[in-house]
Amino acid sequence: MLPLLPTDILPAWVRGHYETWLYLIGIAVLLKPVAYLAVRILAQQYTYTVYIRKSDEAYDMLLGWIFATGVDKGARSVIARVGVRGLIGEESSADSASPANKKRITLSPWNGALLFWFRGRPVYYTTQLRQVGLQQEEEATLVSLGRSGAPLRRFLDECRQRHLRQAEQRVAIFGNRGNGWAREASRVARPLSTVALDAAAKQRLVADMARFVDPATQRWYAQRGIPYRRGYLFYGRPGTGKTSLSLSVAGHFELDIYRIQISGITDDSLKQLFEKLPGRCVVLLEDVDAIARNRAAGAAHAAGDASSAAGTTMSGLLNIIDGVSSQEGRILIMTTNYAARLDAALVRPGRIDVRVEFPLADRNVARDLFDLVYRSPVGPDEETSGGEEKLPLLADEFATRLPERLVSPAEVMSFLLQHQDAPQRAVDCVQEWIDSRAKNELRE
């Protein structure tokens, strides 16, 4: 008799215990929901979970720590992205423009689980997509063993501390995304000296802001029950430095900046954005004169023009600025190219405390910009010797040849950068540039 093959042994054994197998399978089917429920209860009772949405800055803090510590190397499931998601210090690093880093692909943990250890405790990290309104948004989940949230709080605090160290001397810029905020960039803080504006006006502005952000001032406001807020209006022609100074003062006082484009935002969206502001920040409302256009659009819509739709209304903006839900401790900066178009109620004292005019370039501004561009080294194209000693004389000559209040500081800077290695050539060509500019304006 031939011995049974391995494939014959199992069926024979199963046939001998047929009822037992059916019994065990039935019990397993019945107990499966119970087992799932038991595991779920144990997980709920003996683990602590933190959810972090991508739209929150904590998401960048978390990923920054994961990349810095190399924890991401242990992920078996990753997502590939071009760029580095704007992590602090990456988007403007010195070698970011090198050919090797062009369209660099970054891999980050995704659609799977990642287990790592933090101070002797296991942390379970996962990512997934969540439906938020009509859109899907990335969400990270952190799970630790135990009923206490202290380990994850310590972990997130370490992520935050690292993030803040990386952010020193930098300005984080946030923009509105729907009804929330998303970090758009992180830039090296621009020195106030590089902003083309009258020195006395800058000093008054900086002194006023310094007094406001002083903790003693905050206590003074609180003791008297006065809302701790400050409003500024920057007005002037395009290219005069309104946005540049806003970014510069934010960096000077180590505050993040939150930019809002008024056009296209409804009152409800603007209200939600203000409610989500942190306690200490700069809020930049750009082109607030757009409300006048919104008002005209609203009138057209009310008259029956279905193609016109109003965004933020004046009453809505005033309620948001003064409302009880408006975050205290924030500095509000409004910018406009057309101050005369603004409603008097918007710029009254209490809403706008300080006004700063940004005029077209005068001789002092032209001289400062010339010095900024050609400050040592002069450059290899300079034909004359003793260029460093000549620089003040060239700056004076350039400022004298440039008509006052005719062009914006941005236009002056653009012209100088065309001759960035040759200050003498810039002086020689300035009149030709002015004449060419005048001819172009006549054609237009």
pLDDT tens-digit map of 140-182:
999 998 888 999 999 999 999 999 888 887 888 999 887 888 8
Report whether 187 contacts 170 (CB < 8 A): yes
- Say whether pLDDT at 274 is over 80: yes
* Stronger pLDDT, 82 or 304, i.e. the higher one: 82
N residues, the chain: 444
Q: 218-249, pLDDT tens digit by residue?
A: 999 999 999 899 999 999 999 999 999 999 99
Give residue 245's pLDDT.
Answer: 95
CATH architecture label of 186-357 = 3-Layer(aba) Sandwich (3.40)
pLDDT for the residue 324: 62
Q: Decide which of 72 and 112 is more confident.
A: 72
Q: What is the DSSP secondary-structure string of 259-299? A: EEE-TT--HHHHHHHHHT--SSEEEEEE-TTHHHHHHHHHH
Cα separation, 288 vs 335, whole angstroms: 6
Element of type H or E holding 26: helix 18-46
Residue 12 is predicted with a pLDDT of 55
**Structure tokens given for 396:** 């004076």
Q: Is the pLDDT of residue 363 over 60?
A: yes
The pLDDT of 174-201, averaged and rounded, is: 87
- Nearest alpha carbon to residue 420 among 380, 385, 367, 390: 380
Instruction: Give buried/exposed letters for 97-110 (b at 16+ CB in 10 A, else e).
Output: eeeeeeeeebebbb
Give span(s): CATH 3.40.50.300, the chain. 186-357
Give the pLDDT score at 182: 84
For residue 101, pLDDT over 90 is answered with: no
Residue 196: pLDDT band (50, 70, 90) is confident
Q: Flag whether pLDDT at 57 surpasses 70.
A: yes
Strand order in the sheet with 354-358: 180-188, 170-177, 257-261, 281-286, 330-336, 230-236, 354-358
Pick the residue with more confidence: 216 or 17? 216
Give the percent of the chain with pLDDT over 70.
Answer: 80
387-414 per-position pLDDT tens digit? 667 899 999 999 999 999 999 999 999 9
Q: State yes or no: pLDDT of 317 exceeds 70.
A: yes
Q: What is the predicted pLDDT for the residue at 183?
A: 84
- Please tell me the predicted confidence (pLDDT) of residue 384: 41
Residue of higher predicted confidence among 89 and 279 = 279
pLDDT greater than 90 at residue 209: yes
pLDDT for the residue 442: 77
Overall pTM > 0.85: no
Q: What integer best gives the mean pLDDT of the chain?
A: 83
Tokens at 370, concatenated: 């010339």
CA pair distance 98, 111, nearest whole angstrom:
31
The better pLDDT of the pair 366, 310 is held by 366
Q: How far apart are CA 354 and CA 27, in angstroms?
A: 77
pLDDT at 304: 46
- Does residue 24 have a pLDDT over 90? no
Averaged over 293-315, what is the pLDDT? 57
- Residue 169: what pLDDT? 77
**pLDDT-based confidence at residue 52 (cuts at 50, 70, 90):** very high
323 in helix, strand or coil?
A: coil
User: Between these two residues, 176 and 310, which has the higher pLDDT value?
Assistant: 176
User: Using alpha carbons only, how large is the chain's radius of gyration in Å?
Assistant: 31
Per-residue confidence band for 72, with pLDDT thresholds at 50, 70 and 90: confident
Specify the range with the lowest mean pLDDT, choosing from 224-228, 264-268, 333-337: 264-268
Mean pLDDT of 374-395: 67
Per-residue confidence (pLDDT) for residue 51, from 0 to 100: 94
Residue 127 in this model has a pLDDT that exceeds 70: yes
pLDDT of residue 190: 87
Mean pLDDT, range 66-74, rounded to an integer: 88
